[in-house]
Amino acid sequence: MRNELTVERLRERLSYDPESGIFTWRVAVGCARCRRKPGDLAGRLLDRGYRQIKIEGRQYLAHRLAVHYMTGAWPEHEVDHRDLDKSNNRWDNLRAATSSQNKSNTRRQRNNTSGFKALAETAA
């Protein structure tokens, strides 16, 4: 992606606690009405359960920022939450996953009467 956020810039703007999975602001950001102070919780919780953080006009999902923050590189594929809690961004709860692996790590659907999860599709 062009104009991608560098890890250095990310670390200047935010602090990430790998034990709690929480991002906090290192610097004051925002407009006068919505000013965030250093130490404030970063981002907002989306309806889908993910935390989203806006940095320099661009929206990022917190779990992808966590990988970038900890490794210095953007994840090549998807990032999966081991415990299925999309807002739990603790470092030990995140793992790299292919789309197929990520889709197979889901809860059983409500309309499932067999008790088994559907298998992820495999490429032929």
Distance CA(51)–CA(59), nearest Å, equals 10
Structure tokens at 66: 């966590």
Q: Can you say whether the dihedral through the CA atoms of 55, 60, 62, 63 is positive or negative?
A: negative
Per-residue pLDDT of 62-112, as tens digits, reads: 999 999 999 999 998 899 999 989 999 999 999 887 555 555 556 555 665
Phi, psi of 65 (to 5 degrees): -65, -35
Residues 6+ apart with CB under 8 A from 98: 77, 78
Per-residue pLDDT of 5-64, as tens digits, reads: 999 999 999 999 999 999 999 998 877 677 889 999 999 999 999 999 999 999 999 999
Q: pLDDT class for 120, splitting at 50, 70, 90?
A: very low
Let me know: does 92 contact 24? Beta carbons within 8 Å: no
Q: How far apart are the first and last CA of the chain?
A: 30
Place of tokens 């789309």: 99
Domains in the chain, ordered, with CATH? 7-104 (3.90.75.20)
